[in-house]
Amino acid sequence: MTVLDSVRWLTLVGILLTLSLTLFTWYLWLALIRKSHCAWCWKSLHLIQWYPRRWSSSICLHHDRQIRAQSAARRLARQRVCGLTR
């Protein structure tokens, strides 16, 4: 293998690696932003005191399902107390 072949091979690998990382980041960018801005994730990791105030809080899919399940359980408990169950 000559020096020129090595340079061509390294250039090709570098371009393909850059392209794959760019596409990977582009594909996952919204999920990364949503997860990093989830105030519930910060709270569960005991980092809420460092949560930046300038960020608007969003909720990741995991905590969204958790909050909805808690809300449904509370609603059902209230209906049972009031006698509104069907």
Task: Kindly provide the residue ranges of all beta strands, DSSP E only, lying in 1-86, ordered along the sequence.
Answer: none
Torsion of CA 42, 44, 49, 55, to 10 degrees: 20
Note the pLDDT tens digit of each residue in 31-86: 677 777 788 888 888 888 888 888 777 788 889 999 999 999 999 999 888 876 55
Q: How high is the pLDDT of residue 73?
A: 96
In angstroms, rounded to a whole number, what is the distance separating the alpha carbons of residues 19 and 25? 10
Residue type, 48: I
Q: What average pLDDT does the segment 5-14 reach?
A: 93
The model carries a pTM of 0.51
